[in-house]
Structure 1
């Protein structure tokens, strides 16, 4: 922590550092300066607020035969294709200079890398843009540019050096800029580079800078803010001389050398802060008088000291004394320095050791002639009893006694008494103990209480940290007894889902609500105290014994499916305009209610020699509107409907094909007209008979199989899914259940294989065969 104290300055000393003029001489000088100013001032320079920033920067310019560009800048062209701004003919009306990145002459491009010596000295320049390509600014490049209000560097500037007196001014002719943002790439700044830049108010030194050269900012009377980089190692002579508006600076610990009069003539300087120790400060300043007649307060990591100017008759000589106003170090035995920045320490301030908690003794150097009545330091756990002249604390120190040599004074302390108090929720607490600071408390032993187990003494109310009776007592200390009550089991019983884990609950504790359960087909109602679900369980009620908690459920109402099965045989199937027909066999799919379905009879799926006759609903029912259309359109080869909210099975029923045009021969699949007619009648009779049979003699939930796979599964499921004698061996069946059903049906003689390893599960079967085989399984002989 740093403490800043105001500077105490002797106003009489200012007579010794200012050159005094007679009133007549001062008036004459002022009139001459005004006359000179208005004689040389161009009209453009009166624009006080010029703010050119380079936003209209021209990156390349062409040169004439004299190597001059259209602004009046003349360049020195180098063999390595670089160019240096050599001079300026002063003809730009507004004084705005935009240095390009490149220049071109005789079709050869040159990169502008430097601004030459004295290039713009004393000329009419109000603003200048310096491109990223420029790496150096030569000595005196902008010296005496009294109209220069803006200097802009490109954001990606590669500038490395600013030369001697580059922006040098005088008391009359100096740049007008208030701030200049030096690129962080700059590594060197020459002597007096910004000397007498009297309008400059703030500066941030570049991060690459290691040495701040002689008198760099000398005479910058408006400068009030300086930012130093962590890279800075050296500040040379007079770098901030006569910066009269500078009141506070913060110097980095990276400094290795600070030379003489760095802050000489800084009449308003009140605080110099240094991010290091006083010993380091004395080392880097050596015997240099870095302050001149300035008398700030010096603040380091461990000391704060006030410089006080001593009157004398010697010219350019500013002797001082030093008062130590604060010690902020951490040493317990303190040896005060006899000098700071080569000046003698003559006084110890009254608050020098106030609030310090570590000091046990202080050695005062012989240079000290005055000691304020020292404020008592503060040390945790002790009461300050005064300053003594001996280590045994027998003789009090007399601050009125003159100091004639190095002197050590000793602080006397008395340890404070603190109470150690014992707290318990059960039984009687032990008597509190009175313990000296850094002493230890006595363990009062174990306590006992019926129904509880004593768990020891703890340092916190939550009983998480055991109290250590060997640790020093430093303040009033509470100690807490820990008790463990008997645990009881709270178990959860449920008929559905998994029961929550049982809980061990201390006596008079409460069970934790385990949350709601979920189970398919049921709704969780809550937790109850009994298996008849009469009383809800109260989870805020204390547990006094083993407890069972019961989950109550209600069975959910059946939920209608979101989709329904559609089975179509002998036809193309289109759903919402998309062809979803199976490549072989029946088309079976799940559809949402009201899905748009269109059926088109497929001639290729009709038995040989037969054609489409009509649509037959084998299972389920159409919606009312579709059922009415079905009655009139069932013989059409195309039929459309919306999916009902139930399973539906439709068949494109065939009939025998009739040949037209021959009155002598009618051949249908190689038979005579009479045979065909007979076959047609037989087919119609067969179809009618099967429909009546299914309607009147088969179970209501009977679904007519269409393929050999469906028939095998029907027979196997009807028989109770018996295991076949041998493992299924058909390579064209992938479904495990279908494979077992086919194997069993073949073994029982109900069905025959197509080959040794092929069953042809997708082949269609007749309704007659399906019914006959089913009746055999159900022992209804055909």
Structure 2
């Protein structure tokens, strides 16, 4: 009678899915519906969908066990529910409470490394607030803005890398404040403003090079840092009060402009161009030497020790090797420093041997090895903001080997004052290239998988959701096998998602197929064996019928999910989370039974999950091993039907 009641309850819940989703949207909870504005759980993350159909990562909810299993590293997915991730939301990884933020997760304080996907363009306020164990982070080049407190109080952070040609133009208020382990940072060249307290209390920061396009440095930007040297660009227009504050430790101030430009800057009165005189100006010129209430000021910038930066030149090639009779691109980049006059009135000398067939600049051959800068000026690319000089020479070699190509700058008297060079490797002919094998993503849920590509076995890795994933070439042999963890649960069929044609019988277990030229996601569906036998049309075959059409399959699976969830919420103690893996299920029934000691002799330091699993196996609630003899692991997933059967069986003991 009890089984019939359970079956009818599940079936009734499945029928509810025939109503429009909108009928339930107002009461939807995380993970039930993928609807704009509703926060949805995806593994260890909660996300929402934006108006432009991209996703915002709202919160990381992973446990410390999940972090430990992943070496305390978090690899943020590039998409959620088919929506490209564009934002990391406010306080998404915040590890401590603050009244400014809705969310926080103390576990985030244990994260040591985080990988941000290239799809992200915006990192919101306090995104990594108080991630005290975070040691390194890479900021993708597509990120346009990191808001205030983005990485504030990340006291263990000692490596920040801005990738590629970063689009960030402003370091926002207290963005990296209190990062006390940070010793150095290479800021993107596009930075124009370093805002209030951006690096305040970075007490290990000893040297900083202000990017070549920076115009303004705000109040307390580098306050209470250990700066011994600072390098300013010629583009600098203003410095706010106490930007370099306490302690006064500067011994050298480097400046990329001329001595006259520096003297004009340090003697210019501080002028808030937007009229704000209370220290909140967002546009200003000159240097404010006023002391703050703690005695911090910018007067140390006036001390002896100024060093004017001479010209610097880099000569590089774009690749590591080239071919005979194929142009080599030799890139020349000159930062004039204070030598601009010498450069403009001087000459450029090239150094190379008879291995060179010809040298071209903008399609015109250079037949000589030395030219005045005036002769080459029209062929050079000048950038007005930084006054850097850039040019690319196309150099063709007529024989193979390793050669040196040099460039020297000479003044009007012919004296060399700057030189650089690069090695060039030239091969006789192109090696025959083997086309790269294209790989496709295989995802397996609730099952095991073996993959063979000829004699090579490809190993699938378990992700933080407990799924097995692998990159697989086309036509590799794939075998997926479902092994039940309980006699009460039986295999039903496979659900397969792919854009390619896959001619298989979804009832076969194990299921064998060749990898198509496209991604495949496959999941084992289970059924309650006893319900199936007595009521074959209530639960077990509903999913089978549902697969006849995509729409019906979705409704059937939603019904199954909703039905089992409603049953479990009724059957389980109030507030109990529905187990999703073997360890969580064992802990549920073991805790409810009063944590009885297992009969097996376990190590003295055995964890609660180990004790719970041992007890559950001894009481025939869980299987000891898979049918193929392999050992289960704690994170092996369990279906909701399995949870129902194990829970009900445990109540009979």
TM-score (norm 1): 0.28
Which is greater in Rg? Answer: 1
Larger RCO: 1 or 2 (CA < 8 Å, sep 6+): 2
